[in-house]
């Protein structure tokens, strides 16, 4: 499986460790991960890099996000939703992992609605405390590892079922 991962919106604590854990867990399962720089902007611009476990060593020590973040207001338009899905499909991407907050999750959901066969997983990465249903702090690092573990080990798990209605 080819997996795209982005960090979107504002930087938040835990983005780099989460990225590293996604790459490591995916590699253990034989999946390939592509990191898109600057969030949805990177998908639009086809700006990606293949990530392997050796590439992410030490990322947990770095603040912010190595992939950088970006905002793409145009994603509200159906044209851009379809264009981004087409760009992902052009690169044979089977799943998109979005690390971000409420706005990032809305963008991810719009891509899933544009093509329901695109698997989408949302991992909270926000300082805004705007991911409802997750304790009082939506930038929890431990939940990232739990979601990664669940998704890569059990293909029938539902991740953020209320938001995305999709299984891993």
Catalytic residue among 45, 47, 55, 128: 128
Residue 9 and residue 58 in contact, taking contact as beta carbons nearer than 8 Å = no
Question: What tokens were used for 165?
Answer: 């209605």
Question: What tokens were used for 126?
Answer: 């926000």
31: three-class secondary structure by DSSP:
coil
Could you tell me which residues are beta bridge partners of residue 35? 5, 49
Active site residue 128: yes
Residue 119 and residue 168 in contact, taking contact as beta carbons nearer than 8 Å = yes
Residue 102 and residue 130 in contact, taking contact as beta carbons nearer than 8 Å = yes
Question: What tokens were used for 123?
Answer: 């991992």
Torsion of CA 108, 111, 116, 120, to 10 degrees: -30
Query: Which positions are catalytic?
Result: 128
């Amino acid at each position: 499986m080819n997996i795209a991962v982005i960090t979107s919106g504002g930087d938040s604590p835990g983005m780099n460790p989460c990225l590293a854990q996604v790459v490591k867990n995916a590699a253990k399962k034989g999946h390939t991960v592509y990191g898109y720089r600057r969030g949805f902007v990177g998908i639009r611009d086809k700006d990606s890099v293949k990530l392997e476990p050796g590439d992410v060593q030490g990322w947990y020590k770095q603040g912010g996000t190595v992939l950088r973040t970006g905002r793409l207001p145009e994603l509200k338009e159906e044209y851009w939703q379809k264009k981004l899905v087409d760009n992902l499909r052009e690169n044979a991407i089977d799943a998109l992992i979005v690390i971000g907050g409420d706005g990032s999750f809305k963008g991810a959901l719009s891509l899933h609605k544009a093509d329901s066969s695109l698997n989408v997983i949302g991992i909270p990465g926000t300082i805004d405390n705007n991911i409802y249903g997750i304790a009082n702090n939506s930038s929890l690092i431990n939940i990232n590892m739990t979601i990664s573990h669940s998704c890569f080990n059990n293909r029938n798990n539902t991740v953020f079922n209320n938001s995305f209605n999709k299984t891993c």
